[in-house]
Structure 1
């Protein structure tokens, strides 16, 4: 299964960055999050459609040394690489995308423009970083981008479509109103056009007296394809919302120790950043995410009533917004510090509570290296919590590597994601 590069990008667009962007733009965090959820698949789709464009490839290869990911909010609007890429990919359709996202998310046009630049910067920077760290040349980048065509249209949130964004011909169709089904190559498919109103028109130059049922030959597969896309999108939303608490954090792809890609923000487009009440003090986090789940447990006196460690050892709370840089155990991606700080605040609010930090990888790669890296990452989080003044409450940090991995190595990256995580649990 081809790598879904949207998973590379989401780690850059977590709650901390959303909160910062909302504050700077004067928009609600829910509006910013909603705008990003529509912009991200649109930008990736644009890249996929221009996978061989020299300007796009140059922008991506130039992104890694530019430090673009370190200044997504402040440096995206005037970055020449971003401007060049947007022009190359969308041309005169940029205004239509901005207007559509503005209407969809309830943000101003100027905010929509800024967020388009930010998402583009995160996209170009993430792909450029991945290409540099995996020695991908222009042809490798081009192939990686081209592989995204099969997935981006299914990731558009409900209420948005390629046509509504003004890029209905994103995958090569001659008109925005035409629906092109890539698995059907016969010229007859061009006889059927579906306009925005849903009316179907036969080509008036064709004599169809002996083909009265031919319209359904082409229209029915199109309708079935649309229904399948709707079903997949709804199930994607449902699964993401139900599994917010167990979303993994840090380790992904091929060799769990040597080449890792952040995957912790997989719920970003389906979950809202919100204020979480910590005994009267508000902290930012995902609704039903790690912080909210831990606080609810502590408020319920679950920790106080736990008889011993045995009653707590099976309940782990997975970080959903702490992302280490690829292959590193000491460098976090931008915005990751916020969740560690939140955990420190929770421990300060409940000084009797004690926790254990755990690091996990999937079963791929060298088991010893996996365990070593997971231990170093667990130690790092423990040390960061110590700097926040709660060292006495973090009683242990342990890297388990692939010891508890359940998904076989031959499974897809998405299936093995359940085994890759950083987590904490309460202990006595």
Structure 2
């Protein structure tokens, strides 16, 4: 299974950046998000089709040290390096891409152009960082990009077609349906009905003429078989409906509802499988209400402290196995000093808990997934834990934080080849009580 580099990039283009870009460009967040969804596979596809160009490889190699990931909106959107790279991979097709994305996402051409630069910056920056972390040379980067040719053609969102732009072999001859997110041949390349033996008797092919009798048999036999199959299906459905009706309640409206549910199992399974969304609630901290999840970090910590189990713990060994994962505290990809939007609130909650229970001591732990160089992962997770420790000290509870450790991917469980969304479970910050 080849690495999908789009998973490496998505972390740079999360809700915080979408919100910031929408504000700066004067567009809706939904429009910005939709545009990014269309641009990302197009940019990766363009790089994949030019993976042997020295200019492309140089741009990616130098990106890891350029700081471009730290200033995507302010830097990448106006960088001449990015503009030159786009010209190298798309040539005179850039305006066509910009127009198509603007129309598709309902944003202005100026915003679409800026987003194209931004997404390209995030792409080369993320691939460059991955290459540096995994010691990939230019040949390795070229191979990594080449592997994406079989992936990107399926990733353009439904409703968007770039085939007419002719921006690469992966886009030629395909269209993308609104019905599903699958890639299908264009109408000009779909199999023609007239070449099958059952549709016409004209032509000069002797084999076809000799089999004309067999074809005419199928003309009436195939519809008959289809008719029989349809009749059987309808009979089964009627039988199922009858069975359901006899087991429902006496109330007629209830019977109709139950029957409908029975004959549409897809809807029933979908509703059953839908996970319950987490909703912020008031968590009682000795009369002070904190916003947090019921059963989340704050709720669990407060319950533990109120139970007296912390006071009764004989030593640190009795506490070391129970960690509380932050629900909201997340760092920007590759950073140990920049938090994602919405993270500060939970840090404030932790400060409030420690102030309410001044005898309590804690330890901070940082974790990463299995992707990348392990020495770098340990260093990054340690720096993140130290950042949180420093933030707590600044808030006045530093004496209650005994230690900050980074464990890298030591306790990661998800395969490094899994998707970015699946690996997110291993990338976390946690806290435990200590003595």
CA distance in 2, matches of 1:178, 1:34: 15
Corresponding residue number in structure 1 for 2:336: 332
> Do the aligned partners of residues 342 and 161 (structure 1) sit closer, same or farther apart at CA in structure 2, a change above 3 Å counting?
farther
Corresponding residue number in structure 1 for 2:14: 14
Corresponding residue number in structure 1 for 2:326: 317
Counterparts of residues 256-275 of structure 1 (less than 5 Å): none
Corresponding residue number in structure 2 for 1:288: none
Structure 1 SS opposite 2:366:
strand
Tell me whether 1:171 sits opposite 2:169 in the alignment. Answer: yes
Whether the aligned pair in 2 keeps the contact of 1:321 and 1:336 (CA below 8 Å) is yes
Counterparts of residues 133-282 of structure 1 (less than 5 Å): 133-163=133-163, 166-167=164-165, 170-171=168-169, 175=173, 194-195=186-187, 201=192, 210=208
Structure 2 SS opposite 1:77:
helix
What CA RMSD, in Å, does the superposition of the two structures yield over aligned residues?
4.9
Task: Choose 168-177 or 139-148, whichever is displaced more.
Answer: 168-177
Report how far residue 120 of structure 1 moved.
0.7
Report how far residue 135 of structure 1 moved.
4.4
Q: Which has the larger radius of gyration?
A: 2
> Do the aligned partners of residues 66 and 345 (structure 1) sit closer, same or farther apart at CA in structure 2, a change above 3 Å counting?
same
> Do the aligned partners of residues 393 and 154 (structure 1) sit closer, same or farther apart at CA in structure 2, a change above 3 Å counting?
farther
Corresponding residue number in structure 1 for 2:252: none
TM superposition score normalised by structure 2: 0.60
Corresponding residue number in structure 1 for 2:307: 308
Report how far residue 158 of structure 1 moved.
3.4
Corresponding residue number in structure 1 for 2:390: 383
Per-residue CA deviation, residues 293-317 of structure 1 (Å, 9 max, x unaligned), is 9355579977655553879946533
Structure 2 SS opposite 1:103:
helix
> Do the aligned partners of residues 418 and 52 (structure 1) sit closer, same or farther apart at CA in structure 2, a change above 3 Å counting?
same
CA distance in 1, matches of 2:377, 2:58: 34
Report how far residue 203 of structure 1 moved.
9.5
CA distance in 1, matches of 2:340, 2:171: 44
CA distance in 2, matches of 1:47, 1:19: 27
> Do the aligned partners of residues 101 and 358 (structure 1) sit closer, same or farther apart at CA in structure 2, a change above 3 Å counting?
same
Structure 1 SS opposite 2:168:
coil
> Do the aligned partners of residues 102 and 370 (structure 1) sit closer, same or farther apart at CA in structure 2, a change above 3 Å counting?
closer
Structure 2: unaligned runs, 5 residues or longer: 178-183, 196-202, 216-270, 284-289, 311-318
Corresponding residue number in structure 1 for 2:346: 343
Whether the aligned pair in 2 keeps the contact of 1:194 and 1:201 (CA below 8 Å) is no
